[in-house]
């Protein structure tokens, strides 16, 4: 059995939860608030970051190490293709969302609306929010362009790139900030992701003190 | 032959250059300034980020995709150990420097001193610099602690973790901002890294308009 220390507002934690489910690995979750970590977290991961994966006495810390570890230990369901060029494309897109989307969208929207409120009791800065919402359009356009060409972001099959992108977007969608209607292909893709059994728990997520957007859990949104 | 589009001020580009050299792969460099990218860069990597790796018609973009791609195609010199748990430890530390060190140190020191000057013609903010320099001590302490226990950061052998950490540190060291004398084990480790043939070119790097610290290229510093 796997124990995953996580928080619902972290896209990296959501990504690992979806990956574990896709790989049909059983796991239990332990909640930790990123703005109020318990000292135990630092003992397991001196970086003080989530997610942290525990299993059979092994501790694996961080998004990069855990996602590659899951691929290294579980070959039944592959989230990285066998072909090395195709793997590189999946990793390029994974980095796109983990780095670029995080920096340009997540930090400006979720950090403003959630972290700032719970960590510092402050209201979001509307100028920063506006930058994040503008950037979001560019990313949706790119997803739309990719999904016009393929079933999934990096090709015909689902991969770590889709899981990463959907994990990040699901938090913005919880807040009701994704303008799906302008991006038909992106919307079809996200609705496919939402319908997967691995997404079920994500759609039940509750960020304490923040109600989800009305359509958040709807498969037909 | 490999073409790597890079810039001397990017730790991610330095990391890939060192990794290519460790793997004894021949490559030529093409310079691009991060604050003044040519349109070609966007054609090769729509994220508009460096490094970009080109070889035999393949384009691989981004730090994560390239470093794992090199490991996938070249097994002669391994920068990730064979054992899956040991791989996870290398990747945990790699992420530490690529994410945490970058956010807490690089952004506050190098972005202030270099990017801000060349991209916007502005002087660094001394308060931000001070935060970066303070954070740097914490990271050096951690390196020191790791190197008291092992030859290299993740164990007895050199790995992607050492290459990543040394790539990041080398830029701060170019600026003369690393207080090596307080961290004996970290200094011994960095001096081992500096002495490797793969580091030779890094020590010849020149950031246009910024002179390197006097000791930058000295193996005995």
B/e letters for A13-28, b = 16+ CB within 10 Å, e = fewer, are bbbbbbbbbbbebebe
B187 shares a domain with B137: yes
> Which of A 31-60 lie inside 8 A of B, CB atoms?
45-47, 49, 58, 60
Residue A1 has pLDDT above 90, yes or no: no
**A109 lies in some domain:** yes
Q: CA nearest A68: which of B149, B111, B88? A: B88
Distance CA A108, CA A168 (A): 13
Between B160-174 and B84-95, two packed helices, what is the crossing angle to 10 degrees? 20
Q: CA nearest B163: which of B75, B73, B72, B71? A: B71
A117 shares a domain with A69: no
A115-174 pLDDT, tens digit per residue, is 999 999 999 999 999 999 999 999 999 999 999 999 999 999 999 999 999 999 999 999
What is the predicted pLDDT for the residue at B1? 87
Looking at A50, A73, A96, which one is the last position of a domain?
A: A73
Distance CA B132, CA B60 (A): 31
**A170 lies in some domain:** yes
B97 shares a domain with B152: yes
A188 shares a domain with A141: yes
B162-201 pLDDT, tens digit per residue, is 999 999 999 999 999 999 999 999 999 999 999 999 999 9
A135 shares a domain with A45: no
**A79 lies in some domain:** no
**A218 lies in some domain:** no
- Tell me the C-alpha to C-alpha distance, in Å, between residue A217 and each of A10, A64, A175, A190, B71: 18, 28, 12, 12, 40
What residues in B contact A46, CB-CB < 8 Å? 142
Residue B220 has pLDDT above 90, yes or no: no
Distance CA A31, CA A48 (A): 14
A146 shares a domain with A109: yes
Q: CA nearest A108: which of A124, A121, A123? A: A124
What proportions of chain A, in percent to the nearest 5, are helix, strand and coil? 55, 10, 35
B10-30 pLDDT, tens digit per residue, is 999 999 999 999 999 999 999
A142 — contact with chain B (CB < 8 Å)? yes
Strand order, beta sheet including B58-61? B27-31, B2-6, B52-55, B58-61
What CATH code is carried by the domain that includes residue A67?
3.40.30.10
**B69 lies in some domain:** yes
B64 — contact with chain A (CB < 8 Å)? yes
What CATH code is carried by the domain that includes residue B188?
1.20.1050.10
> Which of B 161-220 lie inside 8 A of A, CB atoms?
none
What is the predicted pLDDT for the residue at A221? 87
- What's the whole-number mean pLDDT along residues A172-181? 97
**A29 lies in some domain:** yes
Structure tokens at B163: 């290459």
For chain B, counts of helices (H) and of strands (E): 10, 4
What residues in A contact B47, CB-CB < 8 Å? 92, 95-96, 100
Number of compact structural domains in chain A: 2
Residue A42 has pLDDT above 90, yes or no: yes
Residues 6+ apart with CB under 8 A from A57: none
Q: Is the peptide bond before B12 cis (omega within 30 degrees of 0)?
A: no
Give the range of the structural domain holding residue A20, as residue numbers without chain letter. Answer: 2-73
**B78 lies in some domain:** no
B93 shares a domain with B58: no
- Tell me the C-alpha to C-alpha distance, in Å, between residue A169 and each of A7, A101, B164, B187, B203: 15, 9, 29, 43, 42
**B25 lies in some domain:** yes
């Amino acid at each position: 059995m796997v124990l995953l220390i996580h928080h619902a507002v972290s896209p990296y934690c959501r990504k690992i939860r979806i990956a574990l489910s896709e790989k049909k690995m059983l796991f239990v979750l332990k909640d930790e608030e990123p703005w109020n970590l318990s000292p135990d977290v630092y003992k397991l991961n001196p970086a003080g970051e989530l997610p942290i994966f525990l299993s059979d006495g092994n501790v694996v810390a961080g998004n990069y190490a855990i996602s590659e570890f899951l691929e290294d230990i579980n070959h039944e369901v592959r989230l990285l293709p066998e072909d090395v060029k195709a793997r590189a494309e999946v990793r390029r897109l994974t980095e796109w969302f983990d780095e670029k989307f995080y920096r340009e969208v997540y930090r400006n929207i979720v950090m403003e609306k959630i972290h700032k409120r719970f960590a510092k009791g402050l209201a979001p800065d509307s100028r920063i929010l506006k930058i994040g919402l503008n950037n979001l359009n560019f990313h949706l356009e790119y997803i739309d362009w990719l999904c016009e060409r393929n079933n999934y972001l990096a090709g015909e099959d689902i991969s770590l790139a889709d899981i990463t992108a959907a994990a990040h977007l699901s938090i913005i969608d919880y807040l009701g900030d994704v303008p799906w209607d302008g991006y038909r292909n992106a919307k079809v893709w996200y609705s496919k992701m939402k319908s997967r059994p691995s997404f079920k728990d994500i759609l039940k997520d509750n960020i304490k003190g923040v109600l989800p957007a009305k359509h958040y859990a709807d498969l037909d949104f």
